[in-house]
Amino acid sequence: MAQKYGKVYLVGSGPGDPELLTIKARRLLDTTEVVVYDQLPGKAIIDFIPDSAEKIDAGKHAGDHKLTQNEINEVIIRKAKEGKNVLRLKGGDPYMFGRGGEEAQELVAEGIEFEVVPGITSAVAVPAYAGIPVTHRDHASMVTFITGHEDPTKEETALDWETLAKFDGTIVIFMGVKMLGRNVGELMKYGKDPKTPVALIERGTRPDQRVTVGILENIEEVAKERGVKAPAITIIGNVVSLHDILGEQFAEYFD
């Protein structure tokens, strides 16, 4: 008789506001036997994990990784091979710079059944909570998502900064606080207008969300003055100018 493995769910928890967690994600959280979670979902969502579940903290918060990615893969596979259903809880969406694709590949290689449960990506939700639509007929008909923190083992960047500098749309950078100076410097080096509006949004969609606004040529200085820290999303483009108009509705909730 063939061995019966458990099933793995790669679940996106959304950007942080617990009310943005999908109904399916919440149902699975309430019923899955093992939960392997990041810190990025935030305490409010992590607290939804029932006491009956085995909880495994993978860390992954602002550079603090309690488990390496290989160790996370090993834990997920081991628990599934014990016959347990495993929920891998990730911030945002599993396949949007969440390494969910890598985890899925490992599961396929081991013959373990899995299902992806998409989450609302912070690339869209966080700017929205700050009054910044990533597309707008008058400001941007295109949007691109890039990582501000590439694999450190790469010999050279995979990002084409020259092309990005010419991109006439909104640029959303994940995990870009540490490399902010380099990122904006590369854009200006290749001709991006130094006066292009930029917003840094910390702890997006949560009660302590904070928005810092500047332009390419001064955003690094402004960020240092404000003490901007990860996790944060960087938005570059003319849509940032709408923050002053559309962001007012959030003034009573966010700084």
Which one is catalytic: 60, 79, 90, 192?
A: 60
Helices within the chain (DSSP H only): 23-31, 43-46, 69-81, 100-109, 122-129, 161-166, 180-189, 219-226, 243-246
d(CA 175, CA 148): 5
Sheet of strand 114-117, all strands in order from the earlier edge strand to the far edge: 54-59, 34-38, 86-90, 8-12, 114-117
Residue 60 annotated among the catalytic residues of the structure: yes
| Nearest partner of 2 among 111, 150, 141, 116, judged by Cα | 111
Residue 22, C-beta contacts closer than 8 angstroms, at least 6 positions apart = 12, 14, 117, 118, 119, 120
d(CA 93, CA 145): 13
Peptide bond before 18: cis, by omega within 30 degrees of 0?
no
| Nearest partner of 165 among 237, 220, 243, 241, judged by Cα | 237
Residue 30 annotated among the catalytic residues of the structure: no
Which one is catalytic: 17, 79, 175, 192?
A: 175
d(CA 180, CA 200): 10
Q: Which stretches of 111-184 are assigned E, i.e. beta strand? A: 114-117, 143-147, 170-174
Annotated active-site positions, please?
38, 60, 175
